[in-house]
Amino acid sequence: MTTSSNGSAISDDADAQNLGVSLGPSVRDVCDGRLGEINWFRATWQHGGAATGFSTWTHPDGRTTDVVVKLPIKFDEWFWTVRLGGVENDEFDSERALALPTPRVLAGGEQLGEYDLAWIVMERLASPPLASDLTKPALLELLRSAADFQARAAQVRDIRQAPKPPKEDWGAEIEQAREACRGDRIDNAQRWNVLLKEVDRRLDSLMALWRARPIDTWCHGDLHGHNAMRRRLSDEKNGCCVLIDLALVHPGCWVEDAIYLERLFWARREQLHGVRLVRTLGQFRKELGLENTENASDLANVRRVLMAATAPAFLSTEGHPAHLVAALDLLERLLPVVTR
């Protein structure tokens, strides 16, 4: 729920287009005439009453840039998008700005008219998401941008001053997974039951291993090919990979981003083109001068086991038979390794 300065409320379920239309003039006023007419629409992937619009931005020299206007957005998304991508008009096409691994932001604020809400005006990336053609070079681009994001985020906010991440309730999710395996709801239910019983028995030690990980990285939190687009520079240059949707940035261990992405390919590993995500992300981090966890491989295996064990708990989103079979095979292979 977003509230105005006079205490009135903007419902999260309010029609996004009407919200954009009503607040659009205020956005344009704040932007001193540089922002053109806004074409508002409700994106199917958005929730919570956010409005998104396409427009143009006029630079001091008269050039125009296609932009996206988004409001209202949560503070964390606003903070990271603006702090990582904020550029001045005269540096929009500078070498530094063109190399940013997140969208270039031309305007934004935490208040609009009488409303206390966050909004942004950022570059519009016209190329399709990398997921549409995730070749090996594209996958490597994504991982390199993830490392760059982690490096730049560390410069924006000291991770040592970040609040501790909330403890994940693996116990509850394991119980949900065991419940999902009762009866004939999924294939291989008996194999799942045997393994989940063993995971439950060893859960305290597994959680202790994971909770002992170093919390030294700002993780993207939603790293995948649909959240990565390419900034086109010219007909001769392909540009660089840009990570979008920074609403889930959080303090954690750098391997989390790699395993989050890897999990999406457990059932179709051939689409990873032989790239070992944890190792490769670690290499790119090292090139940027970032420190890597010595036991990264062990931590990655613990994370894999925990995520694989909870797969049946998310049948509505991860219930594809091939994914469940892959998670089951991974669990059978790695559980003895991480608990020996």
Same domain for 189 and 319: yes
Residue 296 to residues 191, 212, 278, 339, Cα–Cα distance (Å):
29, 12, 8, 16
Asked if residue 140 has pLDDT above 70, the reply is yes
- In sign, the C-alpha dihedral spanning 212, 215, 216, 220 is positive
- What are the backbone angles phi and psi of residue 69, rounded to the nearest 5°? -110, 135
Same domain for 155 and 83: no
| Averaged pLDDT, 78-101 | 94
Asked if residue 149 has pLDDT above 70, the reply is yes
| Averaged pLDDT, 267-284 | 97
Q: 38 with 16: CB under 8 angstroms? A: no
Same domain for 241 and 106: no
- Residue 15's pLDDT is 60
Residue that terminates a domain, selected from 123, 156, 177: 123
Q: 101 with 145: CB under 8 angstroms? A: yes
Asked if residue 10 has pLDDT above 80, the reply is no
Q: 39 with 54: CB under 8 angstroms? A: yes
Asked if residue 198 has pLDDT above 80, the reply is yes
Residue that terminates a domain, selected from 123, 144, 175: 123
pLDDT-based confidence at residue 185 (cuts at 50, 70, 90): confident
Asked if residue 204 has pLDDT above 70, the reply is yes
Residue reference for tokens 């750098």: 254
| Averaged pLDDT, 44-60 | 77
Q: Residue 246 is part of a domain; what is its CATH number?
A: 3.90.1200.10
Give the structural domain span for 51. 2-123
- Bridge partner residues of 73 (DSSP): 118
Alpha-carbon gap, residue 134 to 154, rounded angstroms: 28
Alpha-carbon gap, residue 128 to 273, rounded angstroms: 20
Residue reference for tokens 């390199």: 144
Give pLDDT tens digits for 218-264: 999 999 999 999 998 765 566 799 999 999 999 999 999 999 999 99
Report the helix count and the strand count for the chain, using DSSP H and E.
12, 11
The number of beta carbons lying within 10 Å of the beta carbon of residue 284 is: 19
Q: Residue 71 is part of a domain; what is its CATH number?
A: 3.30.200.20
Tell whether pTM > 0.85: yes
- What are the backbone angles phi and psi of residue 109, rounded to the nearest 5°? -165, 175
Same domain for 106 and 219: no
- Residue 4's pLDDT is 39
pLDDT-based confidence at residue 38 (cuts at 50, 70, 90): very high
Asked if residue 311 has pLDDT above 50, the reply is yes
